[in-house]
């Protein structure tokens, strides 16, 4: 299973390189089901892997002028604070047995996987539906809806902290609607925000979790290598069709996780 897990780690990177945001949604299932990592710890590992891969992905976008640093700071600040606080204080405070429904005991691990599965279903809808490219980029003075940006950044940060996913499918629409960024710039800017909040969020786990650094570094390195393969393939393959196909796969995975955690023991 470990060999399959290492291959899947490369696939995570390839999917990120091919379709951009959304590929990291596979990270927690790979860690839990192929490497046997405990779900709460897997969400911590995922933050490091997602943060590192997003940081690598953000560099070429920055060179192309597709990263808005001011927006990254304004949106990223509440997200970073929320994700760090969630990993440092909220996640450790969740009891091992959260609640019981009949004979079914919802443990902390099951709750984490269910939250992640629900996120996968929402993310799959975003990928299947697709996004409309905005060719008429905003050339005037950028205006920020500060109250909504603060709220959205906090919500995304808490969500990232709980399930260990980047949340790009939430961040990108928010940047377009609330920060008035053109779509391509929103995608590049979201990578920097995801990198910062994920890596800083991971710091909140140090001291609470026993980290297997060898496994974490290997999986991260394989995922980053996969990004370069995916970027090369993206020049030859239609990203939109791939994204919809990947969206259906993520939907099936999300439903499978819900069924497995609740009904298959």
Looking at the chain, the whole-number percentage of residues with pLDDT higher than 70 is 94
> How far is residue 53's CA from residue 195's CA, in Å, rounded to a whole number?
8
With 80 as the cut, is the pLDDT of residue 121 above it? yes
Choice among 5-9, 16-20, 74-78, 246-250 with the minimum mean pLDDT: 16-20
Domain that holds residue 174: 2-263
The tally of domains found in the chain comes to 1
Give the pLDDT mean for 200-222: 92
Give yes or no for residue 18 having a pLDDT over 80.
no
pLDDT value of position 135: 45
Query: Rounded to whole angstroms, how far apart are CA atoms 261 and 101?
Result: 14
Least confident of 20-24, 91-95, 229-233: 20-24
Burial 206-226 (b: 16+ CB within 10 A, else e): eeebeeeeebbeebbebbbbb
> Does the structure show a pLDDT above 70 at 139?
no
Q: Which position has the token pair 């779900």?
A: 39
Angstrom CA distances, 239 to 15, 55, 173, stand at 10, 21, 18
Percent residues over pLDDT 90 in the chain:
49
pLDDT tier at 165 (50, 70, 90 boundaries)? confident
> To the nearest whole number, what is the mean pLDDT of the chain?
87
45-70 pLDDT per residue, tens: 999 999 999 899 889 889 999 899 99
With cut-offs at 50, 70 and 90, classify the pLDDT of residue 127: confident
Cα(7)–Cα(91) distance, rounded to whole angstroms?
30
Q: What is the structure's pLDDT at 136?
A: 45
Q: What is the C-alpha to C-alpha distance for residues 191 and 195, in angstroms, rounded to an integer?
A: 6
pLDDT of amino acid 142? 72
pLDDT band of residue 141 (cuts 50, 70, 90) is: low
**Residue 20: left (phi > 0), alpha (psi -120 to 50), or beta?**
left
Tell me what the mean pLDDT of segment 28-40 comes to.
94
């Amino acid at each position: 299973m470990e060999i399959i897990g290492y291959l899947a780690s490369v696939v995570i990177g390839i999917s990120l390189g091919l379709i951009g945001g959304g590929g990291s949604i596979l990270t927690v299932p790979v860690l839990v089901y192929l490497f046997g990592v405990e779900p709460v710890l897997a969400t911590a590992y995922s933050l490091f892997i997602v943060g590192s891969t997003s940081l690598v992905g953000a560099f070429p976008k920055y060179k192309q002028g597709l990263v808005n640093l001011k927006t990254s700071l304004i949106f990223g600040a509440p997200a970073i604070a929320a994700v760090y606080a969630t990993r440092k204080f909220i996640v450790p405070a969740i009891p091992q047995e959260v609640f019981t429904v009949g004979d079914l005991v919802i443990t902390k691990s099951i709750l984490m996987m269910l939250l992640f599965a629900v996120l996968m279903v929402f993310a799959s809808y975003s990928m299947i539906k697709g996004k409309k490219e905005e060719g008429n980029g905003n050339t005037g003075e950028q205006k920020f809806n500060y109250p909504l940006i603060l709220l959205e950044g906090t919500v995304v940060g808490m969500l990232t902290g709980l399930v260990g996913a980047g949340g790009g499918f939430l961040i990108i629409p928010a940047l377009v609607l609330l920060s008035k960024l053109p779509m391509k710039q929103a995608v590049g800017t979201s990578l920097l925000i995801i990198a910062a909040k994920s890596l800083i969020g991971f710091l909140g786990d140090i001291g609470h979790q026993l980290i297997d650094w060898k496994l974490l570094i290997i999986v991260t390195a394989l995922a980053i290598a996969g990004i370069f393969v995916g970027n090369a393939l993206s020049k030859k393959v239609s990203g939109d069709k791939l994204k919809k196909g990947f969206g259906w796969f993520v939907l099936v995975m999300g439903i499978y996780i819900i069924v497995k955690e609740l009904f298959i023991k």
